[in-house]
Structure 1
Amino acid sequence: MILIVLKAQIRPDKREEWLSGISQYKKDVNSEPGNISFDYHENVEKENEFVVVEVFRDSAAGDAHVKTDHAQRFFDFMGSVVPEKPLINFQSEDGKDAWVEMGEVTPH
């Protein structure tokens, strides 16, 4: 099983666009055969900070996810609504984990 947690601050002027985009992305990811769950939540203490929690069957499913068209489109979309790189914490079978900047998303 692969657990991925993203933390992203969303620009206030892009909030509604984000909510629409992440809702569609949740549907897309949930349709992947290797996806176990996909959820997102807003931090109740910090407005416009969202956490995304993704769980995949195994590393092959996680790798396949990143290569999907909808993931590639979402990474570009996400870059348009964030003021800084989101943080990602990826935990896999080997037990390694760390918060690092998400390389797939570049703010623009």
Structure 2
Amino acid sequence: MIFICVKWTVKPEYADDWIELTRPFTEATRAEPGNLFFEWSRSVEDPNQYVLIEAFREDAAEAHVTSDHFRAAQAELPQYLPVTPRVRNVVMPGDHWDELGEFRVD
């Protein structure tokens, strides 16, 4: 899978509305056949920062970045941001979450 983590810094006046502002993009991406997960979290240290964790099957990445909803997000979302989002991505085997062995619950 292609595993992607993106840090989105949002202008303070839009931070509380970010999940709603991104809802069409989020819902359309989650509906893509190759999407494994697409999950937003808000930073506990910076209320203007959201972290997006997403994953796609390796053969689905091109369809995602060329989709109409991706292009719409590219056009719409930058107005709410003071800086370009920061990203890390990696291709890894499997398409699932592993258990955290160091904190095993019996």
TM exceeding 0.5: yes
Aligned equivalents of 2:25 and 2:38: distance in 1? Answer: 9
Counterpart in 2 of 1:73? 72
State the 4+ residue runs in structure 1 displaced beyond 6 angstroms: none
Counting only pairs closer than 5 Å after superposition, residues 7-46 of structure 1 correspond to structure 2 as 7-46=7-46
Identify unmatched segments of 5+ residues in structure 2.
Answer: 94-106
Give me the TM-score of the superposition, normalised by structure 2: 0.80
Identify unmatched segments of 5+ residues in structure 1.
Answer: 95-108
Counterpart in 2 of 1:106? none
Q: Displacement of 1:24 after TM fit?
A: 2.3
Aligned equivalents of 2:52 and 2:76: distance in 1? Answer: 15
> Relative contact order (alpha carbons < 8 A, sep ≥ 6): 1 or 2 greater?
2
CA 1:17 to 1:73, structure 2 compared with 1: closer, same or farther past 3 Å? farther
| 1:4 aligns to 2:24 (yes or no) | no
Q: What letter corresponds to residue 33 of structure 2 in structure 1? A: P
Aligned equivalents of 2:45 and 2:17: distance in 1? Answer: 21
Over the aligned positions, Cα root-mean-square deviation in angstroms equals 1.6
Counterpart in 1 of 2:88? 89
Aligned equivalents of 1:78 and 1:56: distance in 2? Answer: 21
Deviations 1:2-55 (A, max 9, x none): 001110110011224422122222211011000011000000111110001111
Aligned residues: 93
Aligned equivalents of 1:7 and 1:53: distance in 2? Answer: 9
Give me the TM-score of the superposition, normalised by structure 1: 0.79
Q: Between Structure 1 and Structure 2, whose CA radius of gyration is higher?
A: 2
Aligned equivalents of 1:81 and 1:17: distance in 2? Answer: 10
